Amino acid sequence: MGNEFVSCSFLLVLLITLAHGNVLRLPSMDGGESDSSMMMGMGVEEEGKDPDYKAYFFMKDVQVGKTIPVNFPHLKESDPARNLPTKTPTSLPFSLKALPSLLRFFSIPPASPQALAMEKTLTDCQIERPGEHRACISSVDSLIDFVGGIFRPDVPFEILRTSVATKTSPVLQNYTVVEVKEKTSTKSLPCHNLPYPYAVFYCHILVDTTNRMFKVTLRGENGAVVEAVLICHMDTSKWNPSFFAFRQLGVERGTTEACHFAPAYDMVVVLVPN
Ligand SMILES: *[C@@H]1O[C@H](CO)[C@@H](O)[C@H](O)[C@H]1NC(C)=O
């Protein structure tokens, strides 16, 4: 997976970033996921301001030959906030208590949007939700421990990710569906990238949900090909009835599935069937 490189180069990248005086990129800094979407495990930002923003689909719309508008944000393949190193990249504390010293370490001004985003990430990572296995992980090793702890040690799993759209692709464009392959895995854990100076993923498994997972090849109007992970939530009956997915699909909760593409900065862990 090339994680050795990421791991070794992490501090270097970080130092270069700091040396250049750039603001560290924190994904979904502009509001990020709403709490409700996080609770429901969608990983889709509510961009309700744009009436054309398409995030949700019916399964029948994502079939070979169909054309659908999809929104893939631009991001850097090499972004240290996106790439999970083998080992936790730093001995820094990861707790809300340590926020002031972390802000000093990363040269982030208190009360800046980045500081608030870090505070929210640290807060969200401390919340316990009954009935939900959840963890914030920042290395492959901690992901292996987390998945092994839920199922059994050494349970085989695969990480699915949506490929990064090229910079020359418009963020929103029409894509033709070229191929659809279902991943036959009964268990999947979405891992949402949280804003932080290094890669932090909030991974969870929700009990009582039946998701279907597809690898979809899309070709954009500009010719760019994206390999995307499609997640179809087959049971939406417990979702917030006013969630924007239902407005967009024009249905009531629980009456149909709701499918969305995993954003390129997220990961989906699926167990490899025996
Ligand atoms: C996608 O195609 C439809 C039908 O041709 C068109 O109405 C729509 O504006 C296109 N959307 C984008 C984002 O290009």
211-269: pLDDT as tens digits: 888 999 999 999 999 999 999 988 899 889 998 889 889 999 999 999 999 988 899 99
**What separation in Å is there between the alpha carbon of 174 and the centre of ligand 1?**
6
The tokens for 267 are 């990961």
CA of 269 relative to ligand 1 center, distance in Å: 32
Residue identifier of the C-alpha nearest atom 2 of ligand 1: 174
Query: How many Cβ atoms sit within 10 Å of the Cβ of residue 142?
Result: 17
**173 in contact with ligand 1, CB cutoff 6 A:** yes
Q: Whose CA is nearest to atom 6 of ligand 1?
A: 174
Length of the chain: 274
* CB of 174 closer than 6 angstroms to any ligand 1 atom: yes
Q: Which of 15-19, 73-77, 261-265 has the lowest mean pLDDT?
A: 15-19
In this predicted structure, the answer to whether residue 12 has a pLDDT above a threshold of 80 is no
Name the residue with the closest Cα to ligand 1, atom 13: 173
Statement: residue 195 has pLDDT above 60 = yes
If one counts every other C-beta atom within 10 angstroms of the C-beta of residue 50, the result is 9
Q: Judge contact between 228 and 216, C-beta under 8 A.
A: yes
Kindly report the average pLDDT of the chain as a whole number.
79
Cβ 142 under 6 angstroms from ligand 1: no
The DSSP result for 7-26, as a single string, is HHHHHHHHHHHHHTTPPPP-
What's the predicted TM-score (pTM) here? 0.75
Query: Is pLDDT of 24 > 50?
Result: no
Could you tell me if the CB of 99 is within 6 A of ligand 1?
no
